Chain A
Amino acid sequence: MATLESATKTVPSVSSEKTTPRKGMSPRARRQTLAFYTFVAPWLLGFVFLTIIPLIVGFLTSLTNYDGLNVFNLKFKGLENYQRILSDSDAIFSIGRTILWATLNVPAWIILSLILALILNQDIKWRGFFRTLFYLPNIIPVVATVWVWKIFLDANNGVLNAIIRVFYPDLTIRWLSDYALPSLTAISVWGGLGWGMVVFLAGLQGVPDELKEAARIDGANAIQVFFNITLPILTPILFFMLINALIGSLQAFVIPLLLGSGGGQASVPPRATYLYMVHAFRQIFVNQRYGYSTALLWSLSIVLLTLSLVVFWSSRYWVHYEVAVEEGEGKA
């Protein structure tokens, strides 16, 4: 949240400062310049070699038939790898799956996080305990999280089916294969709920109590107060969460791989959770199609960067309320 707020505010203030011309630098200015570049050198080198070069190499690879070994026998393929995406039925299937998964995951995560934040924003007993408890899954590493859910949802030995069997003795639901997408959503929401809740709780601090009080005196009930006061003030955060969730969902592939069979790099996720990034990952690590895989990645990057730019661009319009500005200023 504040990343964007402060970022948009900091940049102009920095750029407006006058820079001294390079020629005729005083010894002090020269020393300062030297010191500055010494301090940023590790990051700068890392940025060039670990971000820019891989991005360029990734793009160049996407134009070739590179398979991991044929460096001396590369063929330039132009945009062939990109065209191939459209005729690859697995890729199209994975795009469909990813869209479906995002439409399940994004609203589920946002709505549940918001509900929890609203409840825990009230003055209730054990508030701190509940907040900590709901945040904890966020701390658990993904491999442990998937183990938790694998044995919880196991068709034969899982607790969920055991509970269901109390009511329907002969029912055995294969959650992780027949209902893989809802299960994936449950796992993902379970892990992300605490984070979403904390961000919403911070946003709720920006809703002035006097405003809610005034509305209540005017006869508004809790639901009216929520939709007419709380929600409008929360829209910036809601929008931030929406884009964040969208970007996260489109890139998801770790949990499907962990839920898959075969293990390791060659793990085959349940078909219903064959997401776009899973497909891109498998092109390199199973099929050695580096060119095609990087084409898949670049295509996704363009979508993700567009989404990010939308947030970045729009943040100056929806970050409007005073509370956030004061907070940002205090930090800078």
Chain B
Amino acid sequence: MRGFEHQHAAHCESGTVAALLRHQGLNLSEPMVFGIGGGLFFLHLSFVKMGGIPLTSYRDAPRVIIKNMEKRLGVRWRQHRYRSAESAMHALDGFLAQGQPVGLQTGIYWLSYFPIDMRFHFNGHNIVAYGRQGEDYLVSDPVLETAVTCLAGDLRRARFAKGPFAPRGLAYYPEHVPTDPDLKAAARDAIRHTAKRMTGVPVPFFGVRGIRSLAIKLERWPEKLGTEQARKWVSSVVRMQEEIGTGGAGFRFMYAAFLQEAAELLKMPALGEAARDLTATGDRWRDFAVQGAQLVKNKRDDSEAYAKLATILRECADREQEIFTRLKSTV
């Protein structure tokens, strides 16, 4: 069996999937996996609160990328969940003994190889276990620059973290990987799908409508919540955009990288233009993050600062609406 090769990625799910497919001989870049996996999205659900803060996400639901590899590329996954940590760890040892690297869903809080200040209770973190070292495990965490050793106790607890999105030991690997999948058709289908979801869901929570409704709500936060709480909520939006591995600008740069690759693959220069425009939009998202952080840090509470943030959001929404509407007719 060939050794496992670690590669640094921006996002845990696309990084894990790319690594597992690469190991089975299908070499796709992380942006390609992210794009074909339909990873890009936006949602703001003011009525779903996590730790008292409304849910904002720059990407689609966890495990969407894994599922779309099956749908668009014909990858067949084996997936297991377990009743107990004992059986989950025992099964993992079995896979590793056969030389099979395995994707694991984990709770990042329990993984002590991360700096402590980055460890929060988030259960959707994907990593690859690819071997053992004594009692412990060799782990390729895609968002780290090198492979690491993970303590057995950490891994066990992380795989059985509790609360929202509890992994219940989830382990997965590709059972069948096509040698020559139709990447062109997959890329087209994926772009069409993402473009539709970004512009066409007729409720004000998803896609560009979600961005606009966040703009409206955010402007009212200081008045409605008081300045301290409002700052906290702005901070959480910026964290979702930048701190939780996105490759920059809430996955917009990574998706632009995908469009750039797709332009070449499909010989469609229009996709290259879309990549450039999305990059420029990403730069505006970065401006949003900078000004949001300033507001958090300097405790500048004038409503003008919130209005300015909302203006950038509306601009991002307009630009993304234009880009994805154009993409729908391009592919």
A and B part of one assembly: no
